Amino acid sequence: MDFRPTEEQQLLRRTIREFAEREIRPHVREWDHAQQFPRDLVARLAGLGLMGIQFPEQYGGAGLSAIEYCICIEELARVDPGVALSVAAHNGLCAAHIARFGTEAQKQAWLVPLARGEKIGAWALTESTSGSDAAGMRTAAVRAGAGWTLDGSKTFTTHGRIGDVMVVMAVTDRAAGVKGISAFIVERGTAGMAAGKKEDKLGMRASDTSEVLFDNCRIPENQLLGGEGQGFVNTMQVLDAGRIGIAALSVGLAQGAYEAALAYARERKAFGRTIATFQAIQWKLVDAATRIEAARLLTYRAAWLKERGGRTTLESSMAKLYASEIAVRVAEDCVQIHGGYGFVKDYPAEKYFRDVKLTTIGEGTSEIQRLVIARQLLSRS
């Protein structure tokens, strides 16, 4: 076992950190307040390969490993978790679904422009009445001539309004249960597809989230993704990897909150001393730093296993569950260490505290991660 990052990985971390400090940090509050995804950032993200992090260079990607993907997401989340969420949804859900299950022609048509950052990706599974119980979706696609007609609606779709390419899950054979769900690639502007309500969110406000509506939306046969009836099975595999990304996002967010708390504790004075000299404050910092390291190791282990090709259902869920839950604690302690200043927008603490809650909800709630982990543990002899 070798826990040391390679020289390339250290350079990658420094590069993304400098980029995030220079290009993102000055705008964090503005984007949060405007609740607007900074579309003009995409070309600069793409310039560093961040719109196609793990995809082979032949498809326009940066060809980085799963651990390097984690480093990129971490460094973005350390500065702005909302931007990191958008990058993770684009890479880890939409583009990853096409990369993994698309035909060569589909990869050329949609993965290449996604990986180059010429198009933004979205991935629509959740509906208003089916989130955790995703297989209970109502959106349906029926065969119509040489293609399909899609009807229904999706909710909480990241990039639902701005995504150029969307992977949409729909029921194609209700009697077949989870084997009757298929995935489709839908391009923005397709007749019968429209963006619905934009969500007014607690946090992650720089990331666009909205409903998407389908009404008699015609999809050509070549946009069926991964085979008829394979959509849900493939979704579970996409989520196994996607959850490693949310774990990395949680680690990065916690790292940002911890650093903000440490810096504040070193300068804020009370009773004639800096508050960092109080043991009660030190213990919060110690617990935060220790939990972050543990979460990072779980996350990298899941990424390392993914890189070697096996299923990582157990390891991904453990990493996502632990990293998101410790991130909530770290962000809360960051506010506490800031006292009243943790409650106002002049300091970054309150934003980390608002953003962090998504990590225990998106890509499967903590309750669902525990359910997945329990199933895995109980099925082992």
Ligand X SMILES: Cc1cc2nc3c(=O)[nH]c(=O)nc-3n(C[C@H](O)[C@H](O)[C@H](O)COP(=O)(O)OP(=O)(O)OC[C@H]3O[C@@H](n4cnc5c(N)ncnc54)[C@H](O)[C@@H]3O)c2cc1C
Q: For ligand X, which residue of 12, 28, 204, 303 counts as binding (CB under 6 A)?
A: 204
Distances (CA, A) of 351 to 8, 162, 203, 256, 356: 31, 23, 7, 11, 8
| Angle of helix 313-338 versus helix 279-307 axis, rounded to 10 | 160
Hey, what amino acid is at 35? Q
The bridge status of strand 165-171 relative to strand 121-124 is parallel
Task: Report whether 334 contacts 261 (CB < 8 A).
Answer: yes
What single DSSP character describes residue 6? P
Residue 238 CB, shortest distance to ligand X, in Å, is 11
> Binding string to ligand X for residues 224 to 263, with x set by CB under 6 A, is what?
----------------------------------------
> Binding string to ligand X for residues 274 to 313, with x set by CB under 6 A, is what?
----------------------------------------
Nearer to ligand X, 245 or 264 (CB): 245
Four-residue CA torsion sign, 246, 20, 255, 35: negative
363: annotated active-site residue: yes
Task: Report whether 77 contacts 84 (CB < 8 A).
Answer: yes
Nearer to ligand X, 93 or 285 (CB): 93
> Binding string to ligand X for residues 315 to 354, with x set by CB under 6 A, is what?
----------------------------------------
Q: Is 371 in the site for ligand X (CB under 6 A)?
A: yes
Q: Is 163 in the site for ligand X (CB under 6 A)?
A: no
Task: Report whether 17 contacts 72 (CB < 8 A).
Answer: no
SS3 readout for 28-59:
HHHHHHHCCCCHHHHHHHHHCCCCCCCCCHHH
Q: Is 136 in the site for ligand X (CB under 6 A)?
A: no
Please tell me whether residue 104 adopts helix, strand or coil conformation. Answer: helix
Q: Is 84 in the site for ligand X (CB under 6 A)?
A: no
Q: For ligand X, which residue of 42, 88, 124, 225 counts as binding (CB under 6 A)?
A: 124
Per CB under 6 A, the segment of 2-10, 26-34, 329-337, 361-369 that binds ligand X is 361-369
Q: For ligand X, which residue of 132, 216, 222, 290 counts as binding (CB under 6 A)?
A: 132
Q: Is 364 in the site for ligand X (CB under 6 A)?
A: yes
Residue 363 CB, shortest distance to ligand X, in Å, is 6
Residue 122 CB, shortest distance to ligand X, in Å, is 6
Per CB under 6 A, the segment of 47-55, 63-71, 273-281, 360-368 that binds ligand X is 360-368
Percentages (nearest 5) of helix, strand, coil residues in the chain: 60, 15, 25
Q: For ligand X, which residue of 157, 250, 299, 316 counts as binding (CB under 6 A)?
A: 157
The one catalytic residue among 75, 315, 325, 363: 363
At residue 270, what are phi and psi to the nearest 5 degrees?
A: -145, 140
Which of the residues 94 through 123 are near ligand X (CB under 6 A)? 123
Task: Report whether 73 contacts 249 (CB < 8 A).
Answer: yes
Four-residue CA torsion sign, 314, 320, 323, 325: negative
Residues taking part in catalysis: 363
* Residues making contact with ligand X (CB under 6 A): 89, 123-126, 131-132, 156-158, 201, 204, 209, 358, 361-365, 367-368, 371
